[in-house]
Structure formats: C-alpha cells, structure tokens
Structure 1
Amino acid sequence: MSQMTFKDYIESLPETKTTERRAVINQIATQCAVHYSTVYRWISGKSQPDKLKQEKIAAITGLSITELFQN
C-alpha cells in the first residue's frame, strides 16, 4: 500500500456542496487551535505543524505521523 501524505489525504476528501474537505480542515484548525489558513500552509508544505499538532492530525485522520508528514 502506498503512503498517503497530509496533502494526499486532504485532496482525497470529496469536495461537494457540503464540503467534507472544509469540515475536516476546520476540525483540524479547531483541534490544533490555529487559523484555517495555517492548516492550508501545512497542506501545501509551506510549513509543518509541531509534534503535538501532528499527533492531533494523525488522530483525526487515522493515519500515522510518519505517513502524513514525510520529510
């Protein structure tokens, strides 16, 4: 099975009128206590969340930290 990065995970979510993708992004922002624009920077790879936030994102997505945030 191929690994799925954080960006891959977000892009795999359906982008419908109810926007599941936006709901997950907002959930991550809320759980990590950051603005949603910060989450978009993480998705684009412009910055990376700290270890605690990576753990929260892994819990939300059900994927491992090493899979989501490959270096």
Structure 2
Amino acid sequence: MDFSTLEGLKPMLISIQTLVLFVLFICLVLWAYSKRRKSTFDELANSIFDEEEQAAGQYQGTDPDRAGAIKK
C-alpha cells in the first residue's frame, strides 16, 4: 500500500469515525436519560444536602464575616 492509496481512504475513514462517535453519543444520551437511572441520579444530586445537614451540628470553628475575615 503506498501513500496515494492511504490518501484515497482518508475521507472514508473520517466518515466511519464520525459515524461511530455519533452512535456512541446517542447511546450515552439514552443511557443518561433512561428511566431506570432517574432514581439513582436524583439520589446522587440530593446527597450534597444530606452531608450539609449532618455537618451542621458538628461545626465548632469561628464564623467568618461577610468579607471572609474571621470573627473573634
């Protein structure tokens, strides 16, 4: 195979690569928006609020003022 043959295959290879990436993108979108995953994603999205509620009673440091300086 010489250089001119590879240059002739280049447009076809680029098209195949684009098609494969498009199919992978569609599969990823379908996976992310599937109804089976909704409860898991909702639980993970709200987990940050659970951690804040648990940590609210454990904070014993000094409170910063609005400018960020620590109050004495």
* TM-score interval, smaller chain: under 0.3
TM-score, normalisation: structure 2: 0.23
Structure whose residues are more often helix by fraction: 2
TM-score, normalisation: structure 1: 0.24
| Higher RCO, Cα 8 Å, sep 6+ | 1
Structure index of larger Rg? 2
